[in-house]
Amino acid sequence: MSAIPLDYETLRLIWWALLGILLIGFAIMGGMDLGIGALLPFVAKTDEERRVLLNLSGPTWEGNQVWLVLGGGAIFAAWPAIYAASFSGFYIAMIAILLALILRPVGFKFRGKVDNPTWRGIWDWALFVGGFVPSLVFGVAVGNLFLGVPFRLDDTLRVSYEGNFFGLLTPFALVTGLVSLAMLITQGATIIAARTNGVVADRARRYGKWAAAATLGLFVVGGVISLFWLNGYEVTSLQNVLGPSNPLNKTVVLAQGAWRTNYTTMPWSILAPTLAVIGSVIAYLALDLRAKVLGIVGSSLSIVGIIATAGLSLFPFLMPSSVDPAASFTVWDASSSQMTLFIMLCATIIFLPIILAYTAWVYRVMRGTVTTTSLNRNPNAY
Amino acid sequence: MVDPLVVELSRLQFAATAMYHFIFVPLTLGLSFLIAVMESVFVMTGRQAWRKATLFWGTLFGINFAMGVATGVVMEFQFGMNWSYYSHYVGDVFGAPLAIEGLMAFFLEATFIGLFFFGWDRLKPAGHLAVTWLMALGANFSALWILIANGWMQNPVGASFNPDTMRMEVTDFVAVIFNPVAQAKFVHTVSAGYVTGSVFVLAISALFLLQKKHRDVAIRSMVVAASFGLASALSVVVLGDESGYVATEHQKMKIAAMEAMYETEKAPAALTLFAIPGADGRPAYQVQFPFILGLITTRSLDRDLPGISELTEDAAARVANGLIAYKALQAIRANGNDDAARATFDANKGDLGYALLLKKYRPDIENATGEEITKAALDTVPDVWPLFWSFRLMVAVGLFYVGFFAFWFWKASVHRLESSRGWLKVALWTLPFPWLAIEAGWFIAEYGRQPWVVEGVLPTFYAASGLHVWDLVISLTFFLVTYSVLLAIMVWLMVRTIKHGPAEKSVLDLSEDFTPPTRSAATLEPAE
């Protein structure tokens, strides 16, 4: 163990931050395509208009979705206990997400292969479901982290889940679900507004403004509920930040307002919700003023702010247990071994800059406005 | 303990979704390289027929790739959904190659596949060619990391059980990467993918020749497929042999079951060509070749091959030994400072997994009876006959393709690809064979590892999530229906695309800024 140049506490903090960065990466990049999918039937009415949107996503959506695949892999590798407990606990919700993720690639690829309105209509719905459902369900899942998830651990650390799918759909979780949906729709709308023109862009701006306003409003509502109303979780025993990843070595209590603690002990963390608010205001104004790049920047900033707010409010919790709070997973007791965290950090340091570089290059090659005339030049267009 | 029905349904679901996924993966692996080769020839020669071929096979590749992505994401999530104790128990080791697969391989493949389809009119020919190769490399790197993960389930090296966290943790990641089982599996599996891609291209080109259509694309594609296919088919068989040799070192029970070899074969072991099971399940009648199995598996004439009976006795000893480790583990959990217990545990922890086999019979396994230990040892024997026959099917197809591609390579060399309609029909009608062999191969690899999910470390029944039967009924029905509908649509779309054939005049050729890729054209700016 002495061969590892970073201590366990630092590595755990880095991987907590990296988990946030990967989720933010997915929400910004993959969120564009999810938002476009959710807006597809409303912003684009004719087949040509829909093709414009699909070909706007088309060249890059597969790469964007890898942020999610990578996020899943990183949770597995760095936070295996969370991966095990959340994916099995949220089983039916995961099936709903998988339905959407199955429909998206085939929807993009198959839709344009047959020139028939019924055929295309079916795939339009598939793509709408593929954008709408995950956007909502991801937010519902995060809301349930604030409420605590009904799971227990036995002494072999086997997780058993005591809730069911409908138990996830509490009012607060629906608010967070809608925050997520509105946030990703805003993201999709700002991209459409920036990269198309005419009536499609106009509609996108109109829906985008509504979505940005909804993001802001729902975020504030969710924030007030979680800070002042909900019972938060609090670790009451001293946690060994260098200790083995075993959640059963601590005590935890529920306390009203506990999700407020970090904003008093770490006042700088107030920056996250501030960023969320400012970002959505910028997105709204930019859509209103037809400022293309600024819209994307504002929407992306609000995504950073919202996800950072969730992470910082819960810290050090990752997944509290509502039925056995002592079994809650925290940053200090749910990670991989020090060696695995270090190996994965090395891999990330090597590959993430390379990924960012070639992704940027692909976006540069594909830059420019997508219009109906530009579609007909490419035989591979969707 | 998890409901046995939930375990069985979870296994069925994982097997079904994995086998569906692996309908598409081999074609992605093989076609990506074949397309890259064809496009390379186009860029080097500037001949339009090669571009037509690249675009045509690229269209089929894209349809197949969409299905690969749709079924692939499911695989990554299912470990946590259905195998949560597995994910907890080995996530520290198994999660890392999956995450690195995303970082190093899938990102590369998925980012460049968009540009492969959408970059034709935005990149110079050499630039597009680079994109195609990067996409193909991404697909193959992806296979490497997935097979490193799977190889670890077959031969769990470089990791050790930590009593404080109740899970396996990495001790030597280099050993995990250079696991001999993983390396042999990687080359064997990607080669099988190359054979699949080559058979696909050869069969559809044969169809075009039979229909006397698209001759320019068909002839060229066949030449590439026959050469690439021959090299790959040889590689599959040679590396399959390597897999057998490696498995002999690490998975003796699997080899014994594949060979229906109940009693130890004295050196040099004979190879059973086929056998008929008797009433007791053991071979009643068999046709054997002397020496051959010993040569394949041990590369010697003087080593015995242990049979199922002998291996079961070994397993009983390991269960008993594993109980020593299990009792020491209980003592450590009662008192973390019990150094004597830690020493006992460390000396015996290699067999801890064998003790866990007893969990099927009682929760308090420290009180297991001798009879239960015998039962647990017998559980280490996989079902012999399904493995025996799948293995023979796989080998037969593999050997068939060595001959098949040698023949077509010869026909291509002497420019007689079109000389016989009969042989073209054979090429067309044997199109499904590679999938039979590949699915059989995965069946042997995974079913042959039972009762283990991680060989010798974690029993499958112990690794499942504690879901309700209804959860599984819903998800299994959902997957089977969705996948089957999508598979039918995909096949229909492929048939349509094949009927339509390669576009005679590409839209790209008509665009004003298109110039044949001569050296001077390389200076052209990409179109905005």
pLDDT means per 10 residues, chain A with 382 residues, are 82 97 96 96 93 92 94 96 95 95 94 93 96 96 95 93 90 97 97 93 96 97 92 90 91 91 93 97 96 95 97 95 95 96 96 96 90 70 78
Hey, is the C-beta of B160 within 8 angstroms of any chain A C-beta? no
**Which residues are CB-neighbours of B509 under 8 A, at least 6 positions away?**
B48
Give B414: exposed, middle or buried? Use CB within 10 Å, 0-12, 13-18, 19+: exposed
Using CA atoms, how far residue B275 sits from B269, B279, B281, in Å, is 16, 13, 11
Greater pLDDT, B249 or B491: B491
Q: From CA A241, how far away is CA B287, in angstroms rounded?
A: 64
* Collapsed DSSP state (helix, strand, coil) of residue B498: helix
The verdict on whether omega for the bond into residue B180 sits within 30 degrees of 0, i.e. cis, is: no
The pair of structure tokens assigned to A11 is 């590595």
Q: From CA A130, how far away is CA B139, in angstroms rounded?
A: 24
pLDDT of residue B508: 56
pLDDT of residue B505: 64
**Each residue's pLDDT tens digit, B441-493:** 999 999 999 999 999 999 999 999 999 999 999 999 999 999 999 999 999 99
**Which residues are CB-neighbours of B222 under 8 A, at least 6 positions away?**
B201, B202, B205, B206, B209, B408, B412, B417
The pair of structure tokens assigned to A177 is 């679900």
Residue in B closest to A349 by C-alpha: B103
Q: Residue A354's CB: how many other CB atoms inside 10 A?
A: 13
In sequence order, what are the beta bridge partners of A149? A321
Using CA atoms, how far residue B258 sits from A174, B184, B286, B389, B443, in Å, is 53, 18, 14, 8, 11
pLDDT mean over B329-356: 92
pLDDT of residue A380: 72
Hey, is the C-beta of B481 within 8 angstroms of any chain A C-beta? no
Reply yes or no on whether the pLDDT at B518 is more than 70.
no
CB contact under 8 A, A91 and B471: yes
Cβ-based contacts of B99 with chain A (< 8 Å):
70, 73-74, 76-78, 344, 347
Cβ-based contacts of B506 with chain A (< 8 Å):
379
Using CA atoms, how far residue A293 sits from A191, A272, A280, B77, B300, in Å, is 9, 22, 14, 35, 69
Cβ-based contacts of A381 with chain B (< 8 Å):
118
Specify the DSSP class assigned to residue A304.
H
Cβ-based contacts of B66 with chain A (< 8 Å):
105-106, 108-110
**Of B93, B118, B171, which is closest to A366 when you measure between CB atoms?**
B118
Q: Give B154's Cβ-side CA count (13 Å radius).
A: 32
pLDDT mean over B301-314: 84
Greater pLDDT, A34 or B527: A34
**What does DSSP say about strands B167-170 and B159-162: parallel, antiparallel, or unpaired?**
antiparallel
The pair of structure tokens assigned to B343 is 């020493």
Q: Residue B347's CB: how many other CB atoms inside 10 A?
A: 12
CB contact under 8 A, B465 and A59: no
pLDDT of residue B175: 95
pLDDT mean over B279-285: 76
CB contact under 8 A, B66 and A105: yes
**What does DSSP say about strands A159-161 and A151-153: parallel, antiparallel, or unpaired?**
antiparallel
pLDDT of residue B526: 39
Hey, is the C-beta of B205 within 8 angstroms of any chain A C-beta? no
CB contact under 8 A, A91 and B100: no
The pair of structure tokens assigned to B127 is 């630039």
In sequence order, what are the beta bridge partners of A256? A231
**Which residues are CB-neighbours of A287 under 8 A, at least 6 positions away?**
A189, A190, A193, A205, A208, A209, A212, A295
- B192: closest CA among B251, B236, B148, B160? B236
Please, are residues A178 and A218 in contact by the beta-carbon 8 Å criterion?
yes
Degrees, nearest 5: CA angle B92-B95-B100: 125
Reply yes or no on whether the pLDDT at B4 is more than 50.
yes
Cβ-based contacts of B85 with chain A (< 8 Å):
84, 158-159
Reply yes or no on whether the pLDDT at B520 is more than 50.
no
Please list the alpha-helical segments (H only) found in B46-158: 48-82, 84-100, 107-118, 125-154
Q: From CA B39, how far away is CA B41, in angstroms rounded?
A: 5
Residue in A closest to B174 by C-alpha: A343
Hey, is the C-beta of B474 within 8 angstroms of any chain A C-beta? yes
Greater pLDDT, A357 or B520: A357
Please, are residues A287 and A297 in contact by the beta-carbon 8 Å criterion?
no
What phi, psi does B515 have (nearest 5°)?
-130, 135
Hey, is the C-beta of B493 within 8 angstroms of any chain A C-beta? yes
pLDDT of residue A377: 65
Q: From CA B50, how far away is CA B59, in angstroms rounded?
A: 14
Cβ-based contacts of A83 with chain B (< 8 Å):
79-80, 87, 91, 95
Min Cα distance A113 → chain B (Å) is 8
Lowest average pLDDT, out of A202-211, B137-146, B189-198, B516-525, goes to: B516-525
Please, are residues B465 and B78 in contact by the beta-carbon 8 Å criterion?
no
Min Cα distance B237 → chain A (Å) is 33
Q: Can you point out the beta strands (E) in A102-166?
A: 151-153, 159-161
ipTM of the complex: 0.94
Q: Hey, of B465, B484, B489, B511, which one would you mutate to test binding to chain A, going by the most A CBs within 10 A of its CB? A: B465
pLDDT mean over B283-304: 73
pLDDT of residue A2: 53
Reply yes or no on whether the pLDDT at B511 is more than 60.
no
- A207: closest CA among A187, A222, A224? A187
Q: From CA A195, how far away is CA A54, in angstroms rounded?
A: 12
The number of residues making up chain A comes to 382
Q: Hey, of B10, B107, B123, B174, which one would you mutate to test binding to chain A, going by the most A CBs within 10 A of its CB? A: B107
CB contact under 8 A, A58 and B466: no
Min Cα distance A181 → chain B (Å) is 21
Cβ-based contacts of A73 with chain B (< 8 Å):
76, 95, 98-103
Please, are residues B483 and B20 in contact by the beta-carbon 8 Å criterion?
yes
What phi, psi does A322 have (nearest 5°)?
-80, -25
